[in-house]
Chains A and B, each alone.
Chain A
């Protein structure tokens, strides 16, 4: 009995060390595992930003008074909105089409005179709605700037009015509203999902293609031993990636680690097991590297990008997609990582995420092992 266990461990160890040698000898695998995450972190971290910055606004000032110039200076002098020259309002369409402006600010004639007489003034803001994100942010920023300008103009008068309701905003965890803080946990899930699924899908399908799977099946190596021996090195590699992503997030984007590091590792571990299991299942079904790569990319990349809440809030999705997102493990990892890294949440808040990850991992591994028959045909 003891001898059987020892032999089983020897077999798992042989699989694992062979797999490690494969990885160490193949620069492409190592690159896929270690360089790609860092590269993607940089690309997404710097490239994908929802922070409004230097949006070009064209000004159509029909008044040309000191007052109107002051208004334009106040609005386009912010870091978020910048002046992209002057134009006639009729030209707005052309400007939007060519992408020269995201918005056109129209100041009506007689603005200065009306300000002096304290009359109501209607400013006009035309925005390019083809990019909703930018349009919305231009609107809210312009609104805030105009309100500030109004306060400046009416000054003391308005200060006397005491509005019955007042909202004081206090943004916790990410006071500066920086995208990177919110992106890095999402990116970790995305990067891990792709590389873990692809790594196993490729390596297991490779054994089928090479014919070595038949050779293994003719030996006493059991299927669970193959699965464990295959997954262990990639699990280690995946954990390394996770640490790399968070270390880079901390070093480059100042992403904090406020919660328990052990919980962070635990959540990452179960997520990885699930993703490796998914890759295994794909390769057991396809038995072909090319098909496995495509299936792996589709099943790992799209859901982790679109349904994880990494970019698009799950709460805003249609009910069907919300339901679908419940079987996407990246969703739970993104939620858990944001909780641990940014909020310092503990197990008390995150146990549902952890449980979901454990369930997914167990289900997909059981399915893969069941489909993994050691007999041919």
Chain B
């Protein structure tokens, strides 16, 4: 397995887009490996959709370069378009047509016809778990199924890379879970997935996450790596009686960064791996607290997001 490394499926180098005086995307650089699920996070207006539109050939970059499936997005947008699938933020299929007709249309748009089209249509409808609703008018489908249909239409021509712009916006949690199962299957079969989302819980499914703040990519790592970098402390959730009085016993220790009363209990933020829950429980019991239970709570991506958005600019400029 140690052959020459495969070229990245997506490569952005200093990708920049200005609209007049406003810089929507500012010198963004990253690589996405083939078959990787790459999450792109950021607040509204952070430049997520603009980045996608530059990478799928819809918008010319003001400066910088983008390579998608080996094609330059500025010089050869047509080659890029033929090798990608795109699901735009706004649901844009034809509501008046049945599910199969939408699939057939997008198949035709990618040059598929006849037996090939029929085979691929069956294939993507099966993959998106839509086989039973093939003849239903698209407008009658619930939101979750519409999103899956949009995905089905985007992967019909077996693109190397799919761009999904907030694919699960406004969809219920169960439908989102199904959607992500399909995405993971797709990536396992070798399709590179570039996905933007608002939902931090689903960002956990991504192999790596890029975080956008005001047009700049301020953090880029695996979910675990982001948590290590941005929320370095462990969080210990303590419950019991007489905690307030016992807190002083742990507060003075060097590995404890912060002690915060939280309801009837305490949240201890400690240096990673420095204080195991059972040790903390022992210390507190010794200091007089009773019925103490301590659980380690993992920092969530939400903690990361808040930390990044709060300090994003400073870190991006100051940190090496």
Give A residues with C-beta under 8 Å from B.
6-8, 10-11, 13-15, 17-18, 21-22, 25-26, 210-212, 214-221, 375-377
Contacts and interface: CB of A to CB of B under 8 A. Distances in A.
Given A11-B108, A18-B101, A376-B58, A212 B93 contact: yes
Contact of B96 (A8, A26, A376): A26
Contact of B60 (A10, A212, A214, A375): A375
Given A214-B58, A216-B109, 16 more contacts: A6-B111, A11-B109, A18-B94, A21-B96, A21-B97, A22-B96, A22-B97, A26-B96, A211-B90, A215-B88, A217-B58, A218-B81, A219-B109, A219-B110, A221-B109, A375-B59
A10 B112 contact: yes
Interface string B52-72: 010011111000000000000
Nearest to B137: A25
A310 to B, nearest CB: 35
Given A220-B78, A376-B58, A211 B110 contact: no
Contacts of A220: 78, 81-82, 109-111
Contact of A377 (B19, B56, B77, B105): B19
B142 to A, nearest CB: 19
Interface in B90-140: 90-94, 96-97, 101, 104-113
Contact of B94 (A212, A217, A376): A212
Nearest to B93: A212
Contact of A22 (B84, B94, B113): B94
A8 B86 CA distance: 20
A10 B113 contact: yes
Contacts of A15: 105, 108-109
Nearest to B79: A220
B84 A218 contact: yes
A6 to B, nearest CB: 8
A18 B58 contact: no
Nearest to B153: A215
Contacts of B81: 218-220
Given A18-B94, A211-B88, A218 B107 contact: no
A344 to B, nearest CB: 45
Across chains A and B, which 9 residue pairs bring their CB atoms closest together, nearest first?
A14-B108, A7-B111, A211-B92, A211-B90, A218-B86, A212-B92, A18-B105, A10-B113, A219-B109
A210 B110 CA distance: 20
* Interface hub of A13, A18, A215 (most chain B Cβ within 10 A): A215
Nearest to A3: B111
A214 B92 contact: yes
Contacts of B94: 18, 22, 210, 212
Contacts of A22: 94, 96-97
A32 to B, nearest CB: 16
A14 B96 contact: no
A219 B163 CA distance: 12
Contacts of A219: 81, 86, 106, 109-110
A11 B111 contact: yes
Nearest to A222: B78
Contacts of A375: 58-60, 77
Contacts of B57: 218
A10 B111 contact: yes
Given A211-B92, A212-B93, A214-B88, A14 B107 contact: yes
Contacts of B92: 210-212, 214-215
Nearest to B84: A218
Contacts of B104: 14
B87 to A, nearest CB: 8
A212 to B, nearest CB: 4
Contacts of A211: 88, 90-92
A11 to B, nearest CB: 6
A163 B245 CA distance: 135
A210 B78 CA distance: 23
Given A14-B104, A218-B86, A376-B53, A25 B109 contact: no
